[in-house]
Structure 1
Amino acid sequence: MSPLFQPGRTVWKVEHAPRAAVLVDGAAFFAAVRQAFLQARRTIFIVGWDIDSRTELVGEQPPEDGLPTDFAGFLTELLKRRPELRIHLLLWDYSLVYAHEREPLPQLFLNWQMPPQVTFCLDSTVPFGSSQHQKLVVVDDALAFSGGLDLTIRRWDTSGHDPDNARRVDPGGEPYRPFHDVQMMVDGPAARALALLARARWCHANGGEPEVHPEGDPWPSTCEPHFTDVEVAIARTQPRYHLEQEVREVEALFVESIARAERTIYIENQFMTSGVVASALARRLRERPELEVLMVAPRSHDSFIERRTMRNGRIRFWRTVKAAGGDRVRLLYPSIETPDGKDGSSTYTMIHSKIMVIDDWFLRVGSANLNNRSMGADTECDLAIEAASDRERAAIVRLRDRLLGEHCGVSAEEVAGALAQRGSLVRVADSLCGNGHCLSPIDDGQPDRALFARLAERVADPARPLRLGRLAGRLLPRLLFHGSRTIGRRLARREDRRAARENKEVEAPRPPASGGESEEGLLGRAGLVVACALASIVLLTLAWQFTGLKDFAHPDHIRELMEGAQGEPWALGVVVALFLLGGAVAFPVTILILATAAVFGPWWGMLYATAGVAASAGLMFAIGARFGQEVPRRLLGKRWDRLRDRLQRRGLVAVVALRVVPVAPFSLINLAAGAGSIRLVDFALGTLIGMGPGLVAIALMGDRIAKVLANPTAGQIGVLALCVVGWIGLSFGAQAIVSRLGERTS
């Protein structure tokens, strides 16, 4: 076995693959997956960061199998032909931060509307702030795909990356820019190992024990392997979670492979922020004066969150590598000039791939970005090949030349010729240009030194899973109280006065009231109440999971219950009862609002939904206020008192922020607000400001909201931005009014 591949440290397993192929870009991957599914006989496992029922499962040419092209329709018709087939879909139970990028209500379209042979699971078995980022497709445990591509929208493209490709549109008909990604396909023992990994991920999220039963040969007949009889290493990242131990093989393999580079390192990656990888590159560049590093990445980060969390990290990454390598390193993006008649405008290819090629002996394809979270916070899976023969070295070099040529608009043969002539990988990247395609330098400018950018980076790109207590204790106060120096001095004076009062109380403690309970007795009783509450929640959760209660989660059933009360004098009571029950089991409040508006119409529906939201929020707030005080105080001591005081002073803004950007379920936010001793007036007003506009919009627009979120236009984004600005202004104005009233009455 290679000294680079050390099971338990740099890799999980090294397994034999009779065939291995690298599928470049979405058209090749989707076509191969479609062919493999058509040959499936027993099981299909799909494990992803995202899965979308509307994905067009097609290659460069329209399919000729007579089945629908969309993912959901294709699977439905495939199961009619092959009813014995079982399909398992596992999707990360994603953060609401990514809701605008996802299909609305995936459980509805990937579970409730699919045939019974399809089982769907939302994977929430990762720590807070982490994600399930592996992208695996396994067919009959005999063929497996792994890499950077999910079966989702806005991923399809050909290797030509034509800027005017009419087929590169999303389900709403909106075009998107050229997109580049890579997947590896393997069979044999290597596929069985990936099948075990996919089944284990499924079992973590859904229960059971993973068992692998390979069957048949679903390898697509149109795919020629790039490697035969090759050893494939599998490296993972797994954050510590419950019984799962931390695994950092992805990071270790990056460091160890870079340390063996001699002449060239070629990298394609969406994010580059890892200080560990940057240091490894810099160290090797200093050790080997002849070493060149060519890095291909997106020109910029599209989303607001990515710009605030990944740009600063990439600037640091690049400065570290540039300082060590000087003119021997490049950070480039694939630019594309549009055809004549387009006013000389240009676009660029979105780089989503995670590729590393070292010299002529090492190839790596996977899901792991070169950011911090891929090293220790998310789940990842990378495949690597270390060449053991001249044939394998030639295959690795040709794949690298093909990738570089794709971005420069030339063939792999032209890249090889230019390399032979110039003898420098970075010089070739600087000079090659064809068909309007070339590689251009990335300029990220200066780092964003704003407080929000620094705090957001810590949350969005952690090297290890976030710890809620530390996150709340360090970041929340800074977010809540960041402002002018005048406000800071005012808050400092208040803290001094409060500390003086606390010192006096410590010097002269009050004895317990006659006949009252001691502190230990109160804490013991509170602990008993909390234990009983937790036991009740567990029992309710088990009943919800293993009885018919969960059947009521179907929107049609909820609508039927409400329709039974339509026109009756007790209709409001039914709606409020459903909201209260939904709050008790953390059922999505949005579905309840939509169902209410659909049954009772926009105006009555809005009033009934408002009453239901208020009742559910009030009940959970009261429970948190009554039973959620002593436990955090006992765990955190005075830190909890200080944090609670800060929440009280900025309670309204905090509640509005949590309503506008709900980072946790509706019921959990209500419980936490009560436990945090937020004033009732702040909680009520913050809920009204935070949820009011959204509740009105949902009630009035109904299911059109989903279409707006899925396919926003520039005008809709502008209106949304104005609403958010007004929203924030209203929240701070209300906070100021409430604070002044509080000062006058104190």
Structure 2
Amino acid sequence: MTLPEQTRWRVEQASRAAVVVDADNYFRLAREAMMKANHQILLIGWDFDARINLAWEDEPPGVPTTVGEFISWLTKRQPDLNVYILRWDKGAMKTLFRGKTLWTLTKWRFMRKRIHLLLDGHHPVGASHHQKIVVIDDRLAFCGGIDMTDERWDTRAHRDNDPHRTSPRGRPHKPWHDATTALEGPVAVALGELCRTRWSIAGGATIPPPPPTSDCWPGSLTPDFHDVSVAISRSQPAHGNQEAIHEIEELYLSLIARAQRSIYAESQYFASRRVAEAIARRLDEPDGPEIVIVNPVTAQGWLEPIAMDTARARLMQALKQRDRHGRLRMYHPHTLGGTPIYVHAKVLVIDDDLIRVGSSNFNNRSLRLDTECDVTIEHDGDRIAAIRDDLIAEHLDTDPATVTAAIAEHGLIGAIERLRGHGKTLVPYEVPDLSTVEKWLADNKILDPEGPEEMFELPSARPRLLARLKRFRHRRVA
């Protein structure tokens, strides 16, 4: 592993590893793996909804498909199994409006003594616990960007009007693109330690590590890698006696700087000044890498679009003025019927030999304020390029071999431009006109502060979002 020390917490070996794309695959694989658990399951997330389906078929027969019933079934079947569920405390407020989930959690508390629930409130005002990790018996871990909650399920086909893409109450939700990883071996032990430490930080009693157990890799999952090193990187805000950790920020800056040919990224947001500065430096180089960012059309929620979309517009406009060599593109995926697909995946592929998947986005919160966890794999074979090309093929409704051949002939941007078209495709981002209010919100980072200290500063005291980029505009790279 060639990553600098400041970009990672641990580097551990994975006997098997795979990138898992979209929640239909992840939910089924996690359910399959958890059925093999003997002692301990750690479910660490931003949100958790006991009502959602992990699978749509009763396979194997008699095994519940909804999360709540499935976890109850697991502990009833396996008398030595303990399940620990840690979720962000503010996000848990939504549980009050989920009747069945509230009943399930109450039943667990009083009737299932081996299902342990804890809310993570150990964070500054305005911050969140944002990690998405599942660890099974310290043998297998899933680490990435997918929460076991509502509105995450979708297949890689992202079909229009998929009958399964509904909330537990039957309300249709938008097409959703996401990603995580499956990791077996010592790296799962390390992620188990991270989760148990976070449980203690959040106020829970010490969780002992599980005893050695048998293999729990899901049989239906084909590994992408065998015997590969995996780096674990974190974000953690300073809070009380908790130290600030900025490994993910250092990781992003290091990876952008090291790219020689291409940078392919999928991110829910693009609002980080530091990431934009790093990209600006590469755009100044006459022979720097091609950079492609896949982003949703707009952020989710009612306040996020004002802050995140406006910041994205300001940063992309500034970067376009730096892109003299035409090496930067941002795209939005759409379904066959033209509906925007919400990009929640957090993936970064550097050249053909490094991939990072995690919970962090290209925004200030992920780098400085929220609690995050990412994993990075370096590999000198062709598998990482194949994963990238498979992701692009999903967006362009074609096959990976076609994407691979097009990249070899035309480069990353040239391939996408030649393959995209009508229907299920990638649509180029266009910088919108910004109102005075939106500009003010973006410049002052009202909803995306760069650290816990900014939550309490007057807007006039905060550094402006584009201040450094504007200074860069007058510099030339030697």
Structure 1 length as normaliser, TM-score?
0.58
Match of 1:80 among 69, 76, 79: 76
Contact 2:154–2:175 at 8 Å: present in 1 too? yes
Give the aligned residue type for 2:408: A
Contact 2:132–2:143 at 8 Å: present in 1 too? yes
Match of 1:351 among 343, 354, 357: 343
Contact 2:234–2:247 at 8 Å: present in 1 too? yes
Look up the match of 2:375. Answer: 383
Contact 1:235–1:382 at 8 Å: present in 2 too? yes
Match of 1:161 among 158, 163, 167: 158
Distance in 1 (alpha carbons) for counterparts of 2:276 and 2:172: 35
3-state DSSP class of the match of 2:141?
A: strand
Look up the match of 1:371. Answer: 363
Q: Percent identity?
A: 37
Cα distance per residue 1:44-100 (max 9 Å; x no partner): 1101000001111117x653242221110111122221132111111101169xx66
Contact 2:311–2:443 at 8 Å: present in 1 too? no
Runs of 4+ in 1 over 4 A off after TM superposition: 99-103, 466-469, 471-475
Distance in 1 (alpha carbons) for counterparts of 2:458 and 2:89: 21
3-state DSSP class of the match of 2:152?
A: coil
Distance in 2 (alpha carbons) for counterparts of 1:416 and 1:286: 27
Contact 1:17–1:228 at 8 Å: present in 2 too? yes
1:238 is aligned to 2:225? no
Distance 1:300 1:231, change over 3 A: same
Give the aligned residue type for 2:260: E
1:440 is aligned to 2:437? no
Contact 1:163–1:177 at 8 Å: present in 2 too? no
1:317 is aligned to 2:315? yes
Contact 2:306–2:438 at 8 Å: present in 1 too? no
Cα distance per residue 1:92-146 (max 9 Å; x no partner): 01169xx669854798345312222111111101111100000010111111111
Distance in 1 (alpha carbons) for counterparts of 2:177 and 2:101: 28
Look up the match of 1:403. Answer: 391
Distance 1:15 1:407, change over 3 A: same
Distance in 2 (alpha carbons) for counterparts of 1:11 and 1:203: 22
Relative to its length, the structure with more strand (as a share) is 2
Q: How does 1:121-140 map to 2 (within 5 A)?
A: 121-140=118-137
Distance in 2 (alpha carbons) for counterparts of 1:125 and 1:337: 43
Relative to its length, the structure with more helix (as a share) is 1
Distance in 2 (alpha carbons) for counterparts of 1:33 and 1:262: 36
3-state DSSP class of the match of 2:430?
A: coil
Q: How does 1:395-544 map to 2 (within 5 A)?
A: 395-421=383-409, 423-433=410-420, 436-450=423-437, 454=441, 458-466=445-453, 469-470=456-457
Q: How does 1:57-206 map to 2 (within 5 A)?
A: 57-58=54-55, 63-94=59-90, 104=98, 108-109=102-103, 111-114=105-108, 115-206=112-203
Distance in 1 (alpha carbons) for counterparts of 2:116 and 2:332: 40
CA shift for structure 1 position 166: 1.2
1:17 is aligned to 2:4? no
3-state DSSP class of the match of 1:450?
A: helix
Look up the match of 1:43. Answer: 40
Contact 1:309–1:456 at 8 Å: present in 2 too? no
3-state DSSP class of the match of 2:291?
A: strand
Distance 1:269 1:472, change over 3 A: closer
Cα distance per residue 1:190-247 (max 9 Å; x no partner): 1111101111111111334454334321111111110110000011001001111100
Match of 2:259 among 238, 258, 261: 261
Look up the match of 2:292. Answer: 294
Kindly indicate whether structure 1 or structure 2 has the higher relative contact order, using CA contacts under 8 Å at least 6 residues apart: 2
Contact 1:312–1:448 at 8 Å: present in 2 too? no
Distance in 2 (alpha carbons) for counterparts of 1:140 and 1:185: 14
Distance in 1 (alpha carbons) for counterparts of 2:235 and 2:103: 30
3-state DSSP class of the match of 1:229?
A: strand
Distance 1:166 1:41, change over 3 A: same
Larger radius of gyration: 1
Distance 1:40 1:103, change over 3 A: farther
Distance 1:142 1:109, change over 3 A: farther
Distance in 2 (alpha carbons) for counterparts of 1:205 and 1:103: 24
Distance in 1 (alpha carbons) for counterparts of 2:143 and 2:96: 21
Q: Indicate the RMSD between aligned Cα atoms, in angstroms.
A: 2.4
Give the aligned residue type for 1:348: P
Contact 1:110–1:120 at 8 Å: present in 2 too? no
Cα distance per residue 1:499-542 (max 9 Å; x no partner): xxxxxxxxxxxxxxxxxxxxxxxxxxxxxxxxxxxxxxxxxxxx
Task: Point out where structure 2 has 5 or more consecutive residues left out of the alignment.
Answer: 463-478
Contact 2:292–2:328 at 8 Å: present in 1 too? yes
Look up the match of 1:336. Answer: 335
3-state DSSP class of the match of 2:401?
A: helix
Contact 1:129–1:459 at 8 Å: present in 2 too? no
Distance in 2 (alpha carbons) for counterparts of 1:52 and 1:400: 30
Distance 1:448 1:197, change over 3 A: farther
CA shift for structure 1 position 299: 1.0
Give the aligned residue type for 1:358: I
- Number of residue-to-residue matches in the alignment: 457
Distance 1:204 1:30, change over 3 A: same
Contact 2:236–2:246 at 8 Å: present in 1 too? yes
CA shift for structure 1 position 455: 8.0
Contact 1:409–1:435 at 8 Å: present in 2 too? no
Structure 2 length as normaliser, TM-score?
0.90
**Residue range with higher mean Cα deviation, 113-122 or 320-329:** 320-329
3-state DSSP class of the match of 2:332?
A: strand
CA shift for structure 1 position 471: 5.5
Look up the match of 1:281. Answer: 279
Distance 1:469 1:275, change over 3 A: closer
Task: Point out where structure 1 has 5 or more consecutive residues left out of the alignment.
Answer: 339-345, 476-746
Contact 2:49–2:148 at 8 Å: present in 1 too? yes
Give the aligned residue type for 1:377: L
Distance in 2 (alpha carbons) for counterparts of 1:457 and 1:468: 11
Distance 1:442 1:47, change over 3 A: same
Distance 1:469 1:420, change over 3 A: closer
